């Protein structure tokens, strides 16, 4: 059985091992695969693993041996799942593996705004504390999270984890979601100080000190944060996006930052990755960007790899799990 890993570097830059797949067959590994090389690399493969390589109907229809595609991610839009279904190819993903890591990243981004750790550490290393006339100083206003209002757009596993962490800081949590049952189920098991309030999107935008996005990208919510929605937000709010770059109109966000309608934008995702030179966010004021690393803690990647192995094992044993088509 021939197994091909098309773009394995992001998951495993060298600190993990793909030898775990060798029990299932011959493994061919590529760090990255360009579009023009995709077909020739999987033309005779039985099993393919990928992260961000696109598999179109045209490509899939030419891979006569292909039986299984494992996506090294939760999102699987890179695969034409309708075509795969028509061709009898099983597609699986990795759900809920990054919940803890992404929730942690939300607060790491927030702390950069509210505690300005990097800014003050740099000032100390530059000698400013040595020359200070006082035992302490701060270069920007510092802010407590306590009693701040955080609004969550979307309430899946990551949103729920963010809500629990926010509650531990003493924050007030409101949620906008199309699935009210998730809020009901969450509140049934939450302590009184962890319960969240369901609100409309307009209410969330108007009242939140912090807005954090935790929903999947769909045709309906693409660029949901735009000139119109930004006009409704509480002046001085901070926007956090660890979900999908396409949820945000980045030109509108830059304008809101420049006009100080938004106090800050922190994101781990942008609409086109890697970033292009003409990205509206490049050099934007009060903007913190990390290069899609919220999921990348080693513990998280180990979990992902282990689930990928079990997905394949389940498929081969006739007990398919995490199928998306």
Tell me which residues are annotated as active site: 244, 273, 292
Overall residue count recorded for the chain in this entry: 325
Place of tokens 């991610």: 73
DSSP 276-323: PTT-TTTT-TTEEE--S-TT--HHHHHHHHHHHHHHHHHHHTT---SB
Residues 6+ away with beta carbon under 8 Å from 197: 172, 173, 174, 175
**CA dihedral for 307, 221, 108, 131, sign (positive or negative):** positive
Using CA atoms, how far apart are residues 190 and 322, in angstroms rounded to an integer?
28
Phi first, then psi: give them for residue 271, nearest 5 degrees.
Answer: -70, -30
323: cis peptide before it, omega within 30°?
Answer: no
CB-count burial class (<10 Å; 0-12, 13-18, 19+) for 286: middle
């Amino acid at each position: 059985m021939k197994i091909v890993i098309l773009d394995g570097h992001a998951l495993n830059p060298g600190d993990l091992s793909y030898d775990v797949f060798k029990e299932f067959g011959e493994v061919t590994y590529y760090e990255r695969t360009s579009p023009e090389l995709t077909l020739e690399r999987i033309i005779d493969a039985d099993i393919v693993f990928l992260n961000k390589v696109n598999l179109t109907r045209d490509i899939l229809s030419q891979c006569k041996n292909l039986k299984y595609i494992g996506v090294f991610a939760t999102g699987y839009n890179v695969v034409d799942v309708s075509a795969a279904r028509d061709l009898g190819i099983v597609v699986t993903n990795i759900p809920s593996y990054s919940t803890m890591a992404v929730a942690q990243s939300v607060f790491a981004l927030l702390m950069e705004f509210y505690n300005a750790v990097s800014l003050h550490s740099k000032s100390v290393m530059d000698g400013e504390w040595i020359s200070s006339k006082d035992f302490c100083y701060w270069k920007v206003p510092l802010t407590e999270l306590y009693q701040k209002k955080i609004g969550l757009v979307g309430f899946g596993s990551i949103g729920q984890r963010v809500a629990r962490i926010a509650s531990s800081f003493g924050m007030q949590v409101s949620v906008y979601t199309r699935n009210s049952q998730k809020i009901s189920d969450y509140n049934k098991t939450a302590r009184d100080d962890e319960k969240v309030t369901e609100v409309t999107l307009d209410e969330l935008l108007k009242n939140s000190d912090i807005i954090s996005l935790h929903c999947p990208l769909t045709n309906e919510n693409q660029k949901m944060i735009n000139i119109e929605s930004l006009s409704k937000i509480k002046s001085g709010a901070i926007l956090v996006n660890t979900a999908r770059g396409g949820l945000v109109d980045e030109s509108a966000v830059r304008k809101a930052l420049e006009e100080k309608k938004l106090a800050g934008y922190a994101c781990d995702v942008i609409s086109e990755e890697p970033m292009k030179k003409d990205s509206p966010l490049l050099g934007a004021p009060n903007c913190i960007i990390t290069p899609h690393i919220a999921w990348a803690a080693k513990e998280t990647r180990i979990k992902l790899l282990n689930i990928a192995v079990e997905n394949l094992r389940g498929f081969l044993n006739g007990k398919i799990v995490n199928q998306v088509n």
